Structure 1
Amino acid sequence: MAKAAANTESPKARAQVPHTLGFGVPATSDPHHFKVIIPRSSTGKVQISEYLGLQVVNSNHAIIDRVVLDRPRWTAIRAEVQRAFNARLSAHGLKPSAWKVGENPVDRLLGKELCVLAWAVERMDMEKIPVAVRNWLALRPEERWWLFGMTVMSTGGVMDAGKGWRAALQHALGDVVQSDLLAPRSRRGIRDRDDGRPLLDLFGDETP
């Protein structure tokens, strides 16, 4: 009897789970989100673009190409990024995803965080990329959003590699000396908050 009741409730429970595309993008009409475009060729470059959706004022600027990564650099970060994003999605009861050839939709906040890492590694020595990934993982989501906001103001385009904040990110995340500064707060004597988990688009507006 209990088993039958559980089976009866499961369709309702499933119906309450928000429908998303890719990594947490709401399945609504033209939402603000990012796309990671992975070519079929194993040597093709990976492009990350921001789609402003219905909030755009001028349709000529509805899509902003943020960064293009050489395939080895993308390969060096993709697994850890996927794991981190899926952990966040699961925490909110959203379905996980996996990178695939073609277009990969990414929630607007997760997309901002991905850009921060991609900008940091786009010209980084390959041997430093694992350090950059570790330091990026140590940052809180809101810290990544702040870095995105500062970078995008002047050097957020696909042609801005190596300039301003883009260059600063490369050094801040890739230098071994910086790793202690970016370590998790538990190792710096600062207690992490148990509440206030950053929310995705589906759960309210976040800034920046």
Structure 2
Amino acid sequence: MAKAKFVANTELPQERAQVQHTLGFGVPATSDPHHFTVVIPRGSTSKVQISEHLGLQAASVDSVVIDRVLLDRPRWTAIRAEVQRAFNARLATHGLKSSAWKVGDNRVDRLLGKELCVLAWAVEQMDAEKIPVAVRNWLALRPEERWWLFGMTAISTGGLMDADRGWRVALKHALGDVAQSDLLAPRSRRSGRGKDDIRTSLDLFGDETS
């Protein structure tokens, strides 16, 4: 079986295409991998649930699955197309097959799942007219910025009942209330830009976050 972990900057294109078979949006077809599941009910008004499956990393049987967020169907509909496009673009850069949202269980790579949670947490109680702004701002963030936001939020307010608390509220305002131009302005003034640019191509299955 080919390795699931590789460094995109040092691997030859033909080697990069030899990564292992994946399920859904980049989930390694291995025994009980750490991943996320997006459950889309058949009913057009039913809520969409995003859960984290820790797999073999779980400390106990009780902590194997963590339900992260429930999204009203209109909010999910407002973000699903852009999220699918962004995820498939990322998968393509690593030579992995694309996927599409479907009714039922949708598997999502552990890092992509964290990024999805950040956007879902931001829009779960957001006014509908602000959601397109939130999506644009989310797209403007680098993957490692989304991972950091997930980590900070998940520590204390990462469950189904935490929608109106702490970092969940902060994400709502940070992505929905801040103009995209204002969000991006500080980035051009940061020092060490070259080092940041290298990090944008980190391995999808890397260990940059837990």
Q: Cα deviation per residue 1:123-181 (whole Å; 9 max; x = unaligned)?
A: 00000000000000000000001100110111000111111000000000001x34223
Looking at structure 2, the residues matched to 84 and 185 of structure 1 have their Cα atoms a distance apart, in angstroms, of 23
| Equivalence for 1:123 | 125
| Equivalence for 1:68 | 70
Looking at structure 1, the residues matched to 161 and 90 of structure 2 have their Cα atoms a distance apart, in angstroms, of 30
After superposing on structure 2, the runs of 4+ consecutive aligned residues of structure 1 that deviate more than 3 Å are 12-15, 188-194
Structure 2 runs not aligned, ≥5 long: 1-13
Looking at structure 1, the residues matched to 146 and 152 of structure 2 have their Cα atoms a distance apart, in angstroms, of 10
Match runs of 1:167-182 below 5 Å: 167-175=169-177, 177-182=178-183
| Equivalence for 1:40 | 42
| Equivalence for 2:9 | none
Q: Cα deviation per residue 1:65-118 (whole Å; 9 max; x = unaligned)?
A: 000000000000000000000000000000010000000000000000000000
Letter in 2 for 1:179: Q
- C-alpha RMSD over aligned residues: 2.0
Q: What is the TM-score when the length of structure 2 is the normalising length? A: 0.86
Letter in 1 for 2:140: A
| Equivalence for 2:137 | 135
CA positional deviation for 1:182:
2.3
- Kindly indicate whether structure 1 or structure 2 has the higher relative contact order, using CA contacts under 8 Å at least 6 residues apart: 2
Identity of aligned residues (%): 74
> Residues 122 and 169 of structure 2 are in contact (CA less than 8 Å); yes or no, is this contact kept in structure 1?
yes
Q: When the two structures are aligned, how many residues end up with a matched partner?
A: 193
Structure 1 runs not aligned, ≥5 long: 1-11
Q: Pick closer, same or farther for the CA change 1:123–1:92 going to 2, 3 Å.
A: same
Looking at structure 2, the residues matched to 110 and 160 of structure 1 have their Cα atoms a distance apart, in angstroms, of 21
- Structure of larger gyration radius: 1
